[in-house]
A and B are shown apart, each in its own frame.
Chain A
Amino acid sequence: MHADEPQPSRDAAAPHGRACVTSRRQFLWDTAGGFGAVALTGMLGSEFLGAQARAADGSGANPVAGRPMSAERIARAKHVIFLFMYGGPSQIDTFDHKPHLYGLDGRTVDVPTFGRQGKRPGGRLVAPRWRFRPYGECGKQVSDLFPCLGTQVDKIAFLHGMYAESPIHGSALLNMNTGRIISGHPSLGSWVNYGLGTLNRDLPGYVVMLDESGGPISGAKNWTSGYMPASLQGVQIRTQGAPILALERPQGMDAAAQRLLLDHLAQENGLHAQARAGNPELAARLEQFELAYRMQSAAPEAVDLSAESAATRELFGLGDPVTHDFGSKCLLARRLVERGVRFIQIYSGGGHNDDNWDAHGDLVFNHTRHAGRTDRPIAALLVDLERRGLLDETLVVWGGEFGRQPTAEYAEGTGRDHNSWGFTMWMAGGGVKGGTSVGATDELGSKAVEDRYHVKRLHATILHLMGLDPNGLTYFFSGLDQKLVGVEGAEPIHKVLA
């Protein structure tokens, strides 16, 4: 804006042939702009800002220190597997049973909505497209999209009153992953690893697996470590091809030569570090070289799914072209949990349109596709974790960045627009009370009305289940003790704690 305004005066001055081509007005503009630019450069100096952060490598302040916790707060979850249903699954077609909607298909209802089409006063109701059936001892009603998962409801706590800050994918994803709708903040996996540290020196503590159709919108911002050290960011692991990109040794380099190189590098860096004692950034960078070296041998073993029994592979749906991909990721997630990885995020859906759960056009095609690919693998994950005695140490979280509206987005068809005013997520294992449902949306499934929980309450619950105090886990940056749950803080959702 400021850059445009001086233009007319500059043009106006030239024809007069004045010696001084700088008008008074323009001088003031330029001066002001100059000051701004200097200040801005200073503020953006990353080294300056980076130096503000307290070390997360154990030598800095402990994130949970000094907050005495009562004896009953026993940590149970050591790992998190976050199954991210990118695009936003429709709650009323999956787990939020609204029996009265079935007879209202096509009727116009006065229900305010807010999606990518903006705010609307009402619209044509699209009744749920799947029947629900009761499952398990708790009798939870689950739609026919999830016949396998239905059998596992007694392990699951459903949150029907979730709401988020944005009905737009990019900001809503950041909201779900980092707690904020703007970029630059560390993601949940970074916070967990920052708070708890790693369990395996040979593998990253935070792993992300993307859908084979691509990553979600904003890409790596969703698993960034933000202002925390880079060692806390998510590392992408793949189930096909090289598990971690750019990890193999270059041609002609053998392990011994690489070791020699690294030892020499460490020596040089050691000299460099002598004059910079206590610089955590330097130590972290040195450690990254070593981690990469160790990962070269540890990662291939971790991702080797052929080591699993045929029965286990079949349980996860491997070999079936529909479920093979997501099943491999769920199975790999279990193997990573066994090997000490703290936080694993698996994306169902990537790219655009119907490559993810973003059912704007044909709800039936879209949700049949994505539920079909994930139903068995997710159910298998819960079954397998339980029979191996790992479910009480592993928290499984399911959900998208938001839900979908009960009304149609367009005049024709079953497509639903985004809905951040009310949606369903669930958690299982890791100290969660199974077979429970908390919260409710209104009678149309449009807006959370009972036990309404903001995304940060979910984050607080996850941190709490891992033994961390969500309001005590802080990281000093930019003059503030930053928290995942924001400056106002957030309480865990006590109703779902076992």
Chain B
Amino acid sequence: MSVEGTAQVFGTEQWLEFAGRLHPLLLHLPIGLLAAAFLLEAVSAFRASAAVPRRLVIVGLALSAAIAASSGWLLGREADYAGELVDEHRLLGIAVAVVATLVALLDLFGRSEWSSVARRVALVACAGLTVIAGHHGGELTHGARFLSEKAPPVLAVLLGGPPREPAATDGSAASLLAASDGEFEGSTAARADATLVLGALERRCFECHGESKSKGDLRLDLLDGLLSVVSPGAPLGSTIYQRVTLPRDDEDAMPPTGAPLAEAEIAALARWIERGATEIDVEAELSTNRALAAAAESTVADVALASGARIAALVIDLGAPAAERRLEVDWGGTGVTPDAANLAALAPIAERVVELRLAGLDLAGEGLAGLGELPALDRAHLERSSAGDAEVATLAARAPRLRYLNLHSTRVTSLALPAIEGLERLEQLVLFDTALTPADVAELTAERQDLQVSFDGGLPSAPLADRPVRRVLAADASTGRIALLREVAIGHAELLWEHPIRDLHDIQWLGATTGEHGRVLFQDSWTHLLEVDTATDEVLWQYDAAASGEGPVEVHAFRRLEDGTTMVAESGRGRVVFVDAAGEIVDKFPLTLDGHSVHSDTRLVRPTPTGTFLVAHERDGVVREYDRTGQVVWEYDVPLFDREPAPGHGPEAHGDQVFCALRLADGDTLISTGNGSSLLRVRPSGSLRWHLGQDDVYGVRLAWTTALQELSGGNLLVGNCHAGPGQPQAVELTPAGELVWEFEDHELFGDALSNLVVVEAAP
């Protein structure tokens, strides 16, 4: 209906209806004013000045009572309200308005003493009428038993309702929904449908279409009323079916508030109408249902008493008829140890028992011998009980449909296996802490692959032992320290070892010794190399390049090779030597140099997988790859990228003072350009695959790029020396150049952290 359409038909009648609906609001005005009038009446007995406000309040009371009564009249015209109660309420409401008006007239025009007395009497009468009218109104809104059912018994009678009878008028839908198992004529299915329909009606419909309120002049609790909205045999032609199946946003949908009826209820309604809908006498039906439910429940109660067990329906079955609910039987926590008689007492409910709990019980001498057939038993808990092989055999024989059997911490042995194997539906078997062996279990599961057996379980004692915890080996000559750190959390390291140094440009991790410690090859001056066990700080090997006295020399690169010799690049002497364990030079090759500088001939030298050596020539700004004879087999001249060289060490500097070159797994060469503040990835052909410039890592400013490392996942580690405070001293990048980790520690190290090695291997 369009908005315009609504406007056209909204006339006087509609306004009156609207005014009627305001009744529940308006009726509270006179009640409040009545109380105020009483108070002012009392006050004015002592203080004459209170007479004026009293008069005002009383006039207001009269007016508001009239308005409330009028609106009530209008509301009462609606078809929903009918019956004795409504009539009484209407009359009382009018009476209140009349008496209130009388009080007002007496107050305004009465001058005599007599009129004051009459006014007070009338006021009391008005209050009495209001209480009764209000009570009736409340009964209309909340139901007749709203107040009386909670009232003390003496008062309850006065309030028009009998005291609440337990059970019989309990009204709990659970008991109403319970039905018989065959005492009715007709099929069980028809019975179940009728039960569902009744339950739904009582729960959702009687409130408005029942004894005390019959909206739309419809009473569904009476047979006539119910049949007036049903066309037997034709659900779709039945008003009740149409209304409960309307979309929820339709204004005619029923019930008007709350959730719709459940699908099962609607389906049952349809079937019930289809079957003719004639055999249902609502009132008789309700009382019969109650009696049958009580009978079904008393059977269970009797069994519970005889067996000593706690017997409860599965909570999901509480919507089903009482006689059809599946039951769980539990002796745990009852204090009763079941003997044969207790077990045998289950017989009357045996077909409904789906769960049996005997956990932790000391079963008496006969064990489970007293147990009868439990054809529906699904889950059995015998764990921690005194049950043994005999009890398992008994149970398996009595309950062939078991799906779950818990035997943990019992005396059960492999002798119980034949009985268990006979349980064809068994899905879950718990054998933890029994005498069975892993071989028994393996045999069982080989035969029954769908069977889930809980037998053992544990946790690794040191769960991260086989997973590397990141350790970091770093050195900064400006703070005189090389240190091994353990990363307890990202950005938070624990110091494992440190050693003083004076100069350093290279470090090598040689492998684990004890725990998280290992052997480290490093230098503490430009000529002195040493191998130390970080666990003990013991020097295992050392070599001093200056000892031979062959002229000025500085060492900026060294590496322990697989053959046990140590490669040492001798800057100033223009050669690479190979030193054995005794400190003797066993091999060497010359370097190709454009110029000479003791300090800058070389930076790092890294062996390649093919046995060659990649040498970073800082002074020349060139990377050269040598074979073991000193032949240059590959060369790359580091470009300046069209930027003028600039002096310094920090991010402002620029040059081609290359620090490290690393052959990657795919044959590319990764180059850190030192004061070029960049990383280069060069193809074997010498062309540039990519160039990561000074500001290409988000949030990081690269300064003097130093030592390189390729981590196991393919990530690249690069030192970021002289970058200044607030900048990381080393960064880990994905192969695509995305930052994933930063190292920043300005307490142990300073602005000249040149070398950092991530130790990934498990300790």
B265 touches A278 (CB 8 A): no
Contacts of B408 in A (CB 8 A): 387-389
Choose one: A151, A197, A376, A389; the contact of B428 (CB below 8 Å): A389
Instruction: Decide yes or no whether A128 CB sits under 8 A from chain B.
Output: yes
Evaluate whether A65 and B315 lie within 8 angstroms (CB atoms) in the complex, with A102-B490, A389-B430 already known.
no
A169 to chain B, nearest CB (A): 24
Contacts of B738 in A (CB 8 A): 100, 103
Contacts of B497 in A (CB 8 A): none
Contacts of B384 in A (CB 8 A): 338
A66 touches B199 (CB 8 A): yes
Evaluate whether A66 and B203 lie within 8 angstroms (CB atoms) in the complex, with A131-B490, A388-B430 already known.
yes
A364 touches B488 (CB 8 A): yes
B489 touches A35 (CB 8 A): no
CB proximity to B under 8 Å, residues A121-150: 127-131, 133, 144, 147-148, 150
B264 touches A277 (CB 8 A): no
B73 to chain A, nearest CB (A): 27
B740 to chain A, nearest CB (A): 5
B464 touches A147 (CB 8 A): yes
B266 to chain A, nearest CB (A): 11
Choose one: A67, A376, A414; the contact of B262 (CB below 8 Å): A67
Which range holds the interface residue count of chain B?
35 or more
Evaluate whether A151 and B460 lie within 8 angstroms (CB atoms) in the complex, with A31-B39, A66-B174, A277-B166 already known.
yes
A339 touches B333 (CB 8 A): yes
A199 touches B332 (CB 8 A): yes
CB proximity to A under 8 Å, residues B639-677: none
A129 CA to B740 CA in the complex, in Å?
A: 12
Contacts of B430 in A (CB 8 A): 387-389
A65 touches B35 (CB 8 A): no
Instruction: Decide yes or no whether B275 CB sits under 8 A from chain A.
Output: no
B174 touches A62 (CB 8 A): yes
Evaluate whether A368 and B199 lie within 8 angstroms (CB atoms) in the complex, with A103-B698, A147-B464, A387-B456 already known.
no
Instruction: Decide yes or no whether A52 CB sits under 8 A from chain B.
Output: yes
Choose one: B171, B172, B333, B741; the contact of A203 (CB below 8 Å): B333
Bitwise interface map of B from 357 to 388 toward A, beta carbon under 8 Å scored 1, else 0: 00110000000000000000000000110000
Instruction: Decide yes or no whether A107 CB sits under 8 A from chain B.
Output: yes
Contacts of B464 in A (CB 8 A): 144, 147
CB-nearest residue of chain B to A72: B316
A389 CA to B431 CA in the complex, in Å?
A: 9
Evaluate whether A339 and B332 lie within 8 angstroms (CB atoms) in the complex, with A59-B166, A69-B319, A129-B492 already known.
yes
A65 touches B172 (CB 8 A): yes
Instruction: Decide yes or no whether A468 CB sits under 8 A from chain B.
Output: yes
B152 to chain A, nearest CB (A): 9
Instruction: Decide yes or no whether A68 CB sits under 8 A from chain B.
Output: yes
Contacts of B360 in A (CB 8 A): 338-339
B264 touches A70 (CB 8 A): yes
A130 CA to B467 CA in the complex, in Å?
A: 14
A68 touches B334 (CB 8 A): no
A393 CA to B458 CA in the complex, in Å?
A: 20
A129 CA to B470 CA in the complex, in Å?
A: 13
Evaluate whether A148 and B333 lie within 8 angstroms (CB atoms) in the complex, with A75-B315, A131-B490, A467-B315 already known.
no
CB-nearest residue of chain B to A340: B333
CB proximity to A under 8 Å, residues B296-319: 310, 312, 314-316, 318-319
Interface hub of A52, A60, A144 (most chain B Cβ within 10 A): A144
A232 CA to B164 CA in the complex, in Å?
A: 25
Instruction: Decide yes or no whether A165 CB sits under 8 A from chain B.
Output: no
Contacts of A65 in B (CB 8 A): 172-175, 177, 318-319
Instruction: Decide yes or no whether B612 CB sits under 8 A from chain A.
Output: no
A52 touches B319 (CB 8 A): no
B176 touches A66 (CB 8 A): yes
A203 CA to B333 CA in the complex, in Å?
A: 8
CB-nearest residue of chain A to B731: A103
Instruction: Decide yes or no whether A386 CB sits under 8 A from chain B.
Output: yes
A99 CA to B739 CA in the complex, in Å?
A: 11
B447 to chain A, nearest CB (A): 20
CB-nearest residue of chain A to B741: A102
CB-nearest residue of chain A to B359: A338
Instruction: Decide yes or no whether A106 CB sits under 8 A from chain B.
Output: yes
Choose one: A68, A388, A389; the contact of B320 (CB below 8 Å): A68
Instruction: Decide yes or no whether B406 CB sits under 8 A from chain A.
Output: yes
Instruction: Decide yes or no whether A162 CB sits under 8 A from chain B.
Output: no
Instruction: Decide yes or no whether A202 CB sits under 8 A from chain B.
Output: yes
CB-nearest residue of chain B to A66: B173
Evaluate whether A195 and B742 lie within 8 angstroms (CB atoms) in the complex, with A65-B177, A387-B454 already known.
no
Contacts of A131 in B (CB 8 A): 470, 490
Bitwise interface map of A from 45 to 86 toward B, beta carbon under 8 Å scored 1, else 0: 000000110000001111011111110011100000000000
Instruction: Decide yes or no whether A201 CB sits under 8 A from chain B.
Output: yes
B459 touches A128 (CB 8 A): no
A316 to chain B, nearest CB (A): 10
A51 CA to B149 CA in the complex, in Å?
A: 11
A414 touches B491 (CB 8 A): yes
Evaluate whether A68 and B265 lie within 8 angstroms (CB atoms) in the complex, with A150-B463, A278-B166 already known.
yes
A389 CA to B408 CA in the complex, in Å?
A: 8
A105 touches B150 (CB 8 A): no
B310 touches A69 (CB 8 A): no
Choose one: A61, A75, A105, A380; the contact of B459 (CB below 8 Å): A380
Instruction: Decide yes or no whether B339 CB sits under 8 A from chain A.
Output: no
B35 to chain A, nearest CB (A): 7
B723 to chain A, nearest CB (A): 14
A20 CA to B409 CA in the complex, in Å?
A: 87
Instruction: Decide yes or no whether A157 CB sits under 8 A from chain B.
Output: no
A358 CA to B694 CA in the complex, in Å?
A: 39
Contacts of A471 in B (CB 8 A): 259
CB-nearest residue of chain A to B317: A69
Choose one: B176, B320, B333, B404; the contact of A201 (CB below 8 Å): B333
Instruction: Decide yes or no whether A104 CB sits under 8 A from chain B.
Output: yes
A60 touches B172 (CB 8 A): yes
Instruction: Decide yes or no whether A384 CB sits under 8 A from chain B.
Output: yes
Bitwise interface map of A from 467 to 498 toward B, beta carbon under 8 Å scored 1, else 0: 11001000000000000000001000000000
Instruction: Decide yes or no whether B457 CB sits under 8 A from chain A.
Output: yes
Instruction: Decide yes or no whether B455 CB sits under 8 A from chain A.
Output: yes
B264 touches A68 (CB 8 A): yes
A100 CA to B176 CA in the complex, in Å?
A: 60
Instruction: Decide yes or no whether B330 CB sits under 8 A from chain A.
Output: yes
A470 to chain B, nearest CB (A): 12
Contacts of A111 in B (CB 8 A): none
A318 CA to B387 CA in the complex, in Å?
A: 30
A92 CA to B176 CA in the complex, in Å?
A: 52
Choose one: A103, A196, A202; the contact of B739 (CB below 8 Å): A103
B432 touches A388 (CB 8 A): yes
Bitwise interface map of B from 329 to 349 toward A, beta carbon under 8 Å scored 1, else 0: 010111100000000000000
CB-nearest residue of chain A to B318: A64
CB-nearest residue of chain A to B406: A389
A67 CA to B55 CA in the complex, in Å?
A: 57
A105 CA to B742 CA in the complex, in Å?
A: 9
Bitwise interface map of B from 51 to 79 toward A, beta carbon under 8 Å scored 1, else 0: 00000000000000000000000000000
Instruction: Decide yes or no whether B196 CB sits under 8 A from chain A.
Output: yes
A203 CA to B334 CA in the complex, in Å?
A: 11
A31 CA to B408 CA in the complex, in Å?
A: 72
Contacts of A106 in B (CB 8 A): 699
A338 CA to B360 CA in the complex, in Å?
A: 9
B467 touches A133 (CB 8 A): yes
A489 CA to B316 CA in the complex, in Å?
A: 19
A64 touches B315 (CB 8 A): yes
Q: Which 9 pairs, one residue from A and one from B, show the smallest C-beta to C-beta distance?
A: A66-B173, A200-B333, A103-B739, A389-B430, A65-B174, A147-B463, A467-B315, A387-B457, A68-B319
28 contacts between A and B (CB under 8 A): A61-B172, A62-B173, A64-B174, A64-B315, A65-B172, A65-B174, A66-B173, A68-B262, A68-B319, A69-B319, A74-B316, A105-B491, A130-B490, A144-B489, A148-B459, A150-B463, A201-B310, A201-B334, A277-B166, A338-B359, A364-B492, A387-B430, A387-B457, A388-B430, A389-B406, A389-B454, A392-B428, A467-B316
